[in-house]
């Protein structure tokens, strides 16, 4: 999407979008009377989210004028701007004009980034694989250019809006990865995609193949991969811009990359197996974050690790009661082949800690249905061993509307994950506190390193989207990580 400051002519675009506050009036002089009349007659009260379409009979004005209420100017918050910007874009896309003029009242100047995010996130086209007339219709609906018309000139405004658009564009990239089916998005294709991502951000890239994983002793990751025709991969990206102190310990981001999860021999029922292409949403968040590190000028040493495989059934597939030896040397009895995410994370995290000695670790994974049941699709579960890290992620979540909720790991939950004939079991089996016990398993491979675990089971793929989201993939985690790292 192209964002630019508009020229003086008011009617240069067919659609003019006019955000309106309920407690103050702001508009181009040519539209002042129209707005006054609508407010005076009570036709439009500018309540938050209220819209009105005006088709003026004046060749000097745009074909269509969309009024959108922003409510009381004193109650404007970032998440509200993001949501309302998304609503206005979804409203004008149906006109299929491609170019819009957007008036920005002075009260919205400081929310340029959120405005840009809402615009680009709502402009996302989820129908990547459609063809024919349907494809043409989606293409026509896309907003290609936004002409900004700020009430007050602000040198920083355009830069802030553009920053939001760039950020949201990468979220849309992550959405595409998660929406992509397994025959398009798998360990092989994601390994090739990692080459592009690393080149874009200037990161050092290492991709470990199955033989290398076996040699390193990553029995947990290799075990999950046994039923697959495609070999597992471990993608490692290291971003270290100039000026970063050699003494600074890196941030380690680990994203679960199960490109399709059948559940293995603990086969998922029909409804649960649908959309299991989403099980690599954690890896997508890490890929998206790395695409942004250089663009957003992040001056941090960041390591990204994504274990990639699908979890399938086959003659060689891992079976219940098999015992695997992890990279850390700990043994695990497989008590549930559908609790595979924690296994691949265990090897990836232990490898990352040993290889890079990070200052902190954050893993992100569609780990448990239990977390989805507990928190629904508006909060991700947050668990960990370091309160400062937890507080930082909570604050970043509040600022980006990628909300997280702190859940406990009781010492008894860790005891439940201890094995009888092996060091650990990967599933305790009671069905109680599933999110916490999944995190308790992962904690066994963290040691004393500050660590946080994000369970995004309910957030990565939704049926009830927020105004700026769409059904299916959300790209959750990219904006949260960028906000956290920018601090």
Give the catalytic positions in this structure.
268, 342
Number of helices and strands in the chain (H, E): 16, 20
Rounded alpha-carbon distances, angstroms, from residue 439 to 219, 309, 453: 19, 20, 7
Q: In whole angstroms, what is the distance from residue 244 CA to residue 410 CA? A: 37
Closest of 468, 442, 452, 472 to residue 460, by C-alpha: 472
SS3 424: strand
Q: In whole angstroms, what is the distance from residue 154 CA to residue 41 CA? A: 33
CB-count exposure of residue 440 (10 Å: 0-12, 13-18, 19+) = buried
Hey, which residues does 145 pair with through a beta bridge? 2, 99
H, E, C per residue of 247-278 = CCCCEEEEECEEEEECCCCCCCCHHHHCCHHH
First to last CA, the chain: 27
Are 230 and 263 a contacting pair, CB within 8 Å?
Answer: no
SS3 54: strand
CA 142 to chain centroid, in Å, comes to 21
Strand pairing category for 360-365 and 380-384: unpaired
Length of the chain: 487
In degrees rounded to 5, what are phi and psi of residue 486?
-70, -15
Closest of 480, 8, 9, 410 to residue 255, by C-alpha: 480
Closest of 413, 386, 417, 405 to residue 456, by C-alpha: 405
Radius of gyration over every alpha carbon of the chain, rounded to an integer in angstroms: 24
């Amino acid at each position: 999407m192209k964002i630019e400051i508009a020229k003086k002519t008011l009617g240069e675009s067919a659609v003019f979008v006019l955000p309106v506050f309920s407690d103050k009036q702001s508009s181009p002089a040519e539209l002042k009377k129209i707005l006054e009349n609508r407010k005076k007659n009570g036709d439009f009260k500018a309540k938050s989210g209220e819209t009105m379409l005006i088709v003026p009979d004046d060749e000097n004005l745009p074909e269509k004028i969309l009024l959108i209420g922003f409510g009381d100017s004193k109650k404007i918050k970032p998440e509200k701007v993001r949501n309302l910007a998304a609503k206005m874009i979804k409203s004008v896309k149906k006109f299929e004009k491609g170019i819009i003029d957007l008036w920005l009242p002075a009260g919205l100047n400081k929310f340029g980034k959120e405005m840009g995010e809402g615009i680009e996130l709502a402009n996302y086209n989820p129908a990547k694989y459609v063809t024919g007339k349907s494809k043409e219709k989606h293409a026509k609906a896309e907003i290609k250019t936004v002409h900004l018309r700020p009430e007050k000139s602000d040198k920083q405004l355009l830069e802030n809006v553009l920053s939001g658009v760039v950020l949201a564009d990468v979220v849309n990239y992550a959405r595409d990865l998660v929406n992509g089916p397994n025959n398009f998005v798998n360990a092989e294709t994601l390994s090739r995609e990692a080459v592009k991502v690393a080149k874009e951000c200037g990161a050092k890239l290492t991709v470990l193949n199955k033989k290398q994983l076996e040699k390193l002793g990553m029995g947990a990751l290799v075990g999950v991969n046994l039923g697959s025709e495609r070999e597992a991969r471990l993608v490692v990206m290291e971003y270290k811009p100039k000026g970063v102190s050699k003494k600074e310990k890196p941030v380690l981001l680990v994203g679960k990359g199960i490109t399709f999860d059948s559940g293995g021999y603990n086969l998922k029922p029909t409804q649960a197996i649908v959309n299991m292409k989403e099980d690599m949403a954690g890896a997508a968040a890490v890929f998206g974050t790395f695409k942004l590190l250089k663009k957003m000028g992040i001056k941090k040493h960041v390591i990204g690790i994504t274990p990639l495989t699908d979890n399938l059934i086959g003659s060689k597939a891992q079976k219940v009661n098999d015992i695997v030896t992890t990279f850390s040397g700990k043994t695990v009895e497989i008590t549930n082949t559908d609790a595979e995410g924690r296994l691949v994370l265990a090897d990836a995290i232990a490898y990352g800690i040993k290889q890079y000695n990070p200052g902190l670790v954050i893993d992100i994974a569609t780990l448990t249905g239990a977390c989805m049941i507990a928190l629904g699709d508006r909060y991700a579960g947050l668990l960990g061993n370091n309160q400062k890290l937890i507080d930082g992620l909570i604050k970043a979540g509040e600022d980006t509307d990628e909300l997280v909720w702190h859940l406990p790991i009781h010492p008894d939950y860790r005891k439940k994950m201890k094995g009888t004939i092996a060091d650990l079991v990967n599933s305790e089996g009671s069905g109680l506190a599933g999110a916490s016990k999944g995190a308790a398993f992962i904690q066994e491979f963290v040691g004393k390193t500050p660590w946080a675990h994000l369970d995004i089971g309910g957030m990565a793929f939704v049926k009830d989207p927020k105004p700026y989201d769409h059904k299916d993939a959300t790209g959750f985690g990219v904006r949260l990580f960028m906000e956290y790292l920018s601090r």
